[in-house]
Amino acid sequence: MWSWETAWEGLPAVLQGFGLTLAATAMGSALALSLGLVVAVLLRARTRWITLPLAGLVQFIRSTPLLVQLFAAWVLVPGVGALTLGILVLGIHYAAYTAQVYRAGIDAVPAGQWEACVALSLPRRRVWRAVVLPQAIRNVLPSLGNYVVSMFKETPYLAVIAVPEMVHRANEYGSTHFAYLETYTTAAVIFLLASCPTSLLIRRLEKRLAH
């Protein structure tokens, strides 16, 4: 039976985990967005010694579950804090996806832009910084935002390496007080309240950039 009193008493424990969930999402997203951009640019390198191994690594990461990657990292990389390791795995996992998003944005830059840069003899670094990347990133911002939301919803996987995020805290409180229904429901409602406004903002941004 549902108990509002139990739900209210378990709320502080769930909110404590929510703070850690937000921190993991923020730092993991920063890593994924920055590393993904670096990977996307490197995949356009002229030497196969860079592109082939990097493309293989990206495909491997995209083809294996996040849960397996977390557990493998926990076993193979001892001595690293659980939260730090979780953020690194989240960031690297989603960098493989954001790299493909960036690649699509870069490929969408009109060929005439590249040709104009060559005609003006602009340095390659300036071409990327001032011409290509501003256009590419603007076009893929909504897709990048969707991956941030996805990462937020997958932070409960961090519980497998004992990171006390929100669902982990809910499980701890539920097992101690035999109140799984209340604590898990509270966690689900918090996820919903945090995800829905963000998703709506991303849709609004997507419509705005489309015009």
Contact status, residue 209 vs residue 141, Cβ threshold 8 Å:
yes
For the chain, report the end-to-end CA distance as a whole number of angstroms. 51
Report the topology of domain 4-210.
MetI-like fold (1.10.3720)
Q: Is the pLDDT of residue 12 over 60?
A: yes
Nearest CA-CA partner of 128 in 101, 104, 109, 142: 109
Question: The pTM is what?
Answer: 0.88
CA dist., res. 107 & res. 67, Å (int): 31
Tokens representing 32? 């994924």
Q: 3-state DSSP call for residue 79? A: coil
Query: What is the reported pLDDT for 60?
Result: 95
**Which of 95, 70, 78, 81 minimizes the C-alpha distance to 159?**
70
Confidence of residue 210 (pLDDT cuts 50, 70, 90): low
Give the integer Cα–Cα distance in Å for 87 and 69: 12
Give the pLDDT band (50/70/90) at residue 8. very high
Identify the weakest region by mean pLDDT among 1-15, 71-85, 129-143, 163-177.
129-143
Residue 208: pLDDT band with limits 50, 70, 90:
confident
Q: What is the pLDDT of residue 211?
A: 56
Fill in the amino acid letter for 189: V
Determine the Cα–Cα distance for residues 49 and 53; give it in Å rounded to an integer: 7
Contacts of 57 (CB under 8 A, 6+ apart): 96
The residues spanned by each domain of the chain are 4-210
